[in-house]
Structure formats: structure tokens, C-alpha cells
Amino acid sequence: MSKAPAVPRFSQVFVIREFRMLWLAQLISVGGNQLARVALAVLVFDRSASAGLAALTYALTLLPELVGGPMLSWLADRYPRRGLMVVCDLVRTGLVAVMAVPGTPLWLLCALVVAVQLVQSPHMAARAALLPTIALGERYLAASAVVNLTAQLGQLAGFAAGGAVVAALGPSQALLVNAGTFTLSAVLTRFGLARRPRPRPSGPAPAGARWSVITGGAGLVRADRRLRLLMAFGAVSGFYACKEGLATPYAETLGEGPAGAGFLLAASPAGAVVGMLVITRWVKPDRALKLLGPLAVASCAVLMLTPVSSGIAVTCVLWAASGLFSAFQLPANAEYSLSVPDSERGKAFGLASASVRVAQGAGISLAGLATAVAPVPHVIAAFGAVGAAASGLLAIRWSRMPPRVADSTGEPVRAPNRLTSRPPDLSKDLE
């Protein structure tokens, strides 16, 4: 009888020099990104005196991932990943430096913002695809946890310090700081990571399928029930993310101002950080996968108590609990990456990232529209109820899913695409 894998520790991944360099580059660029978002909003508002245009500029830092994810992430499967990350960082350095030039027209600023975010997509895909090859085996879950925690904490710190830095330096100088963070990230990546050849295809490429290089991620997921379920777990975030879009009007219903909305917005990511720490330090990887369904249900179901909350403190606790339970996304993301062949991880990551963005954007938008016919607390509760029901169905299907099978190199053994061949012995075992 094989021994269950031990709970991975953060110390197990920080002893890996390549991981330390990858993590440090991420930390620097995440902080710079948040600083740039604050600086752009201030710069556009100062020059246009339009709150709407400032908000649109901020939205432009988020939306291009919907296009860049599925359309550009395949580059991480076509070219050496270290080199691709360096090129993306240097391109972003140049684009942000142009944004920092005083007097840059607003239309050009918006175009440059979109370009920077589009370039970010293949960079993120390459980093995500490299991670399983740097942190092998059970250490991958700990490495994935560190990367996710860094993103969460980097965003919080970047937003917290961004206003002070922009006030001290000015928007243009703050953008130059962001350009510098991309340069430093490129240097750390170039000299901190080992040189690896471009990923080798896991099978023959279809004749004349140039377009399939871009759309291959969708075909890969569509042909694999395990990947479809894991992507569906990611889409559950669209239900519990609705509360973030309604935090400000909900705070108003409680008689609280912007400070109350800030507490509400901070509650969920704070809970998520705690949840990631718990699930990484004290839950074994195989046990974490069994908890995907129950935690997904709980992350939504706890929001059903929002209408009976007695005040903002209780609501913050509820929303923090939702964030804590949402830590199920960590093992789900790790399992998704490990279930995809190395040569296809880039485009698979891009598709998953875009699907999460779409789910969250749709959830927040629909919740906002629903407030026209129902009170804000009841809208949040309704989304929680629907999300819990959907998660329950996913939990049932996931409980019937056999364990992932890997070959001697750790690559996943998957049933072939139905559109090609389908040997009966494999399909019976894996489908």
C-alpha cells in the first residue's frame, strides 16, 4: 500500500533557487502593477476631470486578459518559456515608459494600457507552465500556494502603498517605477532560471491546423471530463464574487460610508489568504482534492446569511468565511495544471484564466442588474444559493471522478480526443 503524500511545506520550495528567483520577480512586478493602476487612475482623472474615464482606464487593466488569455497564451507552448517571459517584461518596460511621458494623449494612454495587459497574458501562462517543472511532485502545491498568496498580498500592499507613492512622486514618476519593476523582473528571470528548450508536442499536430494552435486549449478541455470539471470549479467564483461588486451599495444600506465598503472588500481576500495557508500547511494533497466539492458549496452557501446580518462586523465575518472556503481554488488550480501535458499547459492556463474572468465579470454584472428589482442583501443571498446548488452538482460529479493517472515522467495519461482515436481500454479506465 502506497504511503499518502505528506503535507508540503513552504520551506520545501524556497530551498529551490529557481523558485526563489521566479517568486521574487513575481513579487516585484505585482507590486509595480498595482502602483501603475493607481497612478493611471490619478493621471487620467487629473487630466480629464472625469471619474467615468478614470474608472474606464482602470477597467482596461483587467479586461484585455479575456482576449489575451485564450488568444496569446499558446506562445508559452511554442517558444522557450524563460525567453518568452524576458521578452514580455522588456516589452512592458518600453510600453509603460512611453505612458510615463508627460503630455501623452489620453487615447494613446488607453491603447498602451491594453497593450501592456495583452503582453501580460503569455508571460503569466509561461510562468504557470514552468512552475510544475521547477517545483516537482508534492512540492508543487506549496509552490502554487506561495504564488497565489504573493498575488493576493502583493495586490493588497500595492493598493495600500500606491496612493502614498503616487502622492509623493507623482503619476509619471510612479509609472517609471513600474517600468523599472518589469526590467528587474526580466533580469531575475534571465539569470535566475535555467535555460530549457521549447516544450515538445505531446502528439502530432493536425495538418493545416494553424488556427488550432490558438483554439487548442478549448479542444483539450472539451475532450477531458476531468479538466471540464476543474474549470467549472473555477467558474464558481462568479457566484461568490458578486459581493465585491455590491460592497459599496451594501455598505450604504448599513449606514456606512467608503470606510465600511473598504472593510467589506478586504474581508474576502483576507479570508482567502488564511484559507490558502490552512489548506497548504495542514491538509494533505489527496485530502484537499476530496474537499473541493464541500468547500465550493460552503464558499457560496455562507452568503445566504447576508440578509440576516446584524451589522457590518458580522457581514465582514461572513464574507471572510466565504473567502476562506474559496481556498478550494488552490488545489483545483494545481490539479488542473498537473492534469495537462507540459507542452499544452500555456494555452490551457490562458483558457482557464479567461473563463474565471468571464465568470466573475458576469456574476458581478448580473448582480448589479438584479439590485434594480431586489434589495442588495437579498441579491447576494440569491447568488449564494444558486452558487451552492451548482457547486453541489459539481461535488457529486467530482466524487465519481477516478484519480489522475500519470506515467513514469509525471505526465498525465489521458484518454485521446474523441475526434481522433479512442482505444476502448483507455476510455473505460479514464472516462
pTM: 0.75
142 and 257 inside one domain? no
pLDDT value of residue 345: 83
- Residue 220 covered by a domain: yes
State the average pLDDT for the chain.
81
Is residue 317 pLDDT above 80, yes or no?
A: yes
Is residue 296 pLDDT above 60, yes or no?
A: yes
The pLDDT tens digits of the residues spanning 94-144 come to 999 999 898 888 888 888 888 888 888 899 889 988 999 998 877 888 888
Among 165, 195, 225, the domain-final residue is: 195
The pLDDT tens digits of the residues spanning 162-178 come to 667 777 888 888 889 88
- Residue 248 covered by a domain: yes
Question: Which CATH number do you get for residue 387?
Answer: 1.20.1250.20
Among 146, 161, 195, the domain-final residue is: 195
240 and 177 inside one domain? no
Q: Considering only 136-140, 323-327, 373-377, 415-419, which range has the smallest mean pLDDT?
A: 415-419
- Residue 153 covered by a domain: yes
228 and 282 inside one domain? yes
The pLDDT tens digits of the residues spanning 263-283 come to 887 788 889 889 988 988 888
57 and 188 inside one domain? yes
Residue 206 banded pLDDT, cuts 50, 70, 90: very low
Q: What total of structural domains would you count in the chain?
A: 2
106 and 183 inside one domain? yes
Among 195, 230, 251, the domain-final residue is: 195
Contacts of residue 109, defined as CB under 8 A and 6 or more positions apart, other chains included, come to 40, 43, 44, 57, 99
- Residue 202 covered by a domain: no
For the chain, count helices (H), then strands (E): 22, 0
Mean pLDDT of 304-330: 92
pLDDT value of residue 1: 43
CA dihedral 425, 426, 427, 429 (to 10 degrees): 90
Most confident of 6-10, 67-71, 359-363, 374-378: 374-378
SS (H, E, C) 171-186: HHHHHHHHHHHHHHHH
Is residue 232 pLDDT above 90, yes or no?
A: yes
Is residue 369 pLDDT above 80, yes or no?
A: yes
231 and 188 inside one domain? no
82 and 154 inside one domain? yes
Mean pLDDT of 72-89: 90
Q: Between residues 222 and 304, which one has the greater pLDDT? A: 304
- Residue 200 covered by a domain: no
H/E stretch holding 125 reads helix 106-134
Helix (H, G, I), strand (E, B) or coil at 142: helix
- Find residue 406's DSSP bridge partners: 412
Is residue 35 pLDDT above 80, yes or no?
A: no
Is residue 16 pLDDT above 90, yes or no?
A: yes
pLDDT value of residue 147: 87
Query: 348 to each of 44, 227, 263, 339, how far by Cα in Å?
Result: 35, 9, 35, 10
Residue 299 banded pLDDT, cuts 50, 70, 90: very high
pLDDT value of residue 382: 96
282 and 427 inside one domain? yes
Contacts of residue 130, defined as CB under 8 A and 6 or more positions apart, other chains included, come to 22, 81, 82, 193, 196
- Residue 210 covered by a domain: no
188 and 223 inside one domain? no
128 and 253 inside one domain? no
Instruction: Say if residues 148 and 337 touch (Cβ distance below 8 Å).
Output: no
pLDDT value of residue 325: 97
Residue 419 banded pLDDT, cuts 50, 70, 90: very low
Residue 49 banded pLDDT, cuts 50, 70, 90: low
25 and 81 inside one domain? yes
- Residue 204 covered by a domain: no
pLDDT value of residue 31: 79
- Residue 206 covered by a domain: no
Q: Considering only 91-100, 146-155, 183-192, 302-311, which range has the smallest mean pLDDT?
A: 146-155
C-alpha cell at 101: 511621458
- The whole domain housing 49 covers 1-195
pLDDT value of residue 328: 94
d(CA 241, CA 326): 10
355 and 386 inside one domain? yes
